[in-house]
Structure 1
């Protein structure tokens, strides 16, 4: 029967055997923290996810469909393993993937006693640990309360109304890093103060501070936000979004530069009008119904 290592990416595929962790490596690479997730039924969900990933990552749609289909099918085969070790870290990317997985596995009674959560320290990614530290990690049995907390969080994450999720992150969770990640997810709704999402604001601040090329922007954003560790593709996606339209916030061209509108929004003298997109199950756009209010520290209905 053996062991399965379930991880949201391939970064540990070679590292785990080197650190003494034997078993099958199963990558779950659906970037759940980006794009639409609200769909009834797994096949409909896979369809919208494949289209989003193909469009935003410049991949062939059929290739994405095949990969996502294989990764979700692999979850159905977990019963054959004696142990399933869940390698998910503290940040939003991993926690969103974790609750997606737990939402699918919560009713799989055959897996009870076989699921184990690997202990993330809340600071370093697993890939940054030396082999000796990876080898010394002790898997903790995943409890029924943790499974149910993950499934409930997924329902809130995928809902059109974000208030359920806004209530969940405020309560103590049996999943140690979930509350901070879900709060961070909701902070990427448009803010009542300026219309920017938190990630958008951090990007504009990095550019305003002098980051003028891709690598510098990425490094500045990683240093500024330990809960949502963005990737190079995420910042390029953000750049494309913020450089569109007559009221764009970023200049087009090789160098990263703020427009006059971007400078005004960052100073609090103008308001950003969000382009259409999805934040989990929530629709964001010029007339988005939900905002993040930093004064209240939570989700509020947008003013008419």
Structure 2
């Protein structure tokens, strides 16, 4: 039995619980950076992701990033040597994008005698604020194995369509998925809607994650980056963002010449200890009196879509995407 999880933390808990089998994970931040459609060319997919992760300082070298991704991919390719592959995931954006990538991968391979099963939860008894599998203790996680279900053909078909839409050049492909039946993967629609909220807003040019960071800074006053990170988790219906992703957002909002946040740079301070204050320009953008994209331009990937320049072709108006002339 091969277990594939959303990160090393869950792998560690499965080992502690004595769940039998071998373990791997897939923990790429697919909601960040380029994820262009590569079809069956998995090497091209791994290479583009490794390049982004290295350039975004998630790792010390391109080779290190690529080696990690290749190790995860090698575990996938070992599926024929296992009687069963169990996918362990949850309801948020981070996990759902990884899940559709893995289901797309397995849909392109002949499973033979290997059983493919899925554990995917959005709540846990006695935990009203449940955020993910990583919160569960060994004695809570292990019993979930008995709740696993066989992956179905409709789930594979939906995942393939959703993956192709996410990695496509036109974000309305994602809206087409949302307009269709997504019940085979019950958490997918919410995740994809949250993804679309990362497009610049028509009101002020901010992605939802950026707006929440500014709002937290405005409400908390002079505070620490770590305290802000905790605050933005409570603003999400399904929290999905790790601290490294959040530090990258704060760094971008605190970049010259259009500082929306002012970050301290005390020697020896870890990022979470750095103090953060919203600037007057940040308040103006938050209020919708200035447009963040028009101020400083944008160069951002969301899946297969690249947004560039001082006017984004695509904006989010709160309920749907709006295409603007360039």
What TM-score range do you get, normalising by the shorter chain?
A: over 0.9
Counterpart check, 1:135 vs 2:142: yes
CA distance in 1, matches of 2:49, 2:120: 29
Q: Structure 2 residue aligned with 1:32, among 30, 45, 48? A: 30
Flag the 1:73–1:130 CA change in 2: closer, same or farther, 3 A.
Answer: closer
CA distance in 2, matches of 1:167, 1:112: 34
Q: Structure 1 residue aligned with 2:280, among 260, 278, 302? A: 260
Task: Check the 8 A contact 1:33/1:93 in 2, yes or no.
Answer: yes
Match of 1:168 in 2: 177
Give the SS at the match of 1:14: helix
Match of 1:74 in 2: 75
CA distance in 2, matches of 1:256, 1:107: 47
- Choose 104-113 or 189-198, whichever is displaced more: 104-113
Task: Check the 8 A contact 1:15/1:131 in 2, yes or no.
Answer: yes
Map residues 191-210 of structure 1 onto 2, 5 A cutoff: 191-210=201-220
TM-score (norm 1): 0.93
* Count of paired positions: 300
Match of 1:88 in 2: 89
| Alpha-carbon offset, residue 233 of structure 1 | 0.4
Counterpart check, 1:149 vs 2:173: no
CA offset digits 1:68-108 (Å, max 9, x no partner)? 11211221221221111111110100111111111111122
Match of 1:65 in 2: 66
Give the SS at the match of 1:119: strand
Match of 2:231 in 1: 220
Larger relative strand fraction: 2
Task: Check the 8 A contact 2:217/2:277 in 1, yes or no.
Answer: yes
Q: Which runs of 5+ in 1 are unaligned?
A: none
Q: Which runs of 5+ in 2 are unaligned?
A: 124-129, 266-274
| Alpha-carbon offset, residue 23 of structure 1 | 0.7
Task: Check the 8 A contact 1:89/1:95 in 2, yes or no.
Answer: yes
Q: What value does the CA root-mean-square deviation take over the aligned residues?
A: 1.8
Give the SS at the match of 2:76: helix
- Choose 48-57 or 166-175, whichever is displaced more: 166-175
Task: Check the 8 A contact 1:207/1:256 in 2, yes or no.
Answer: yes
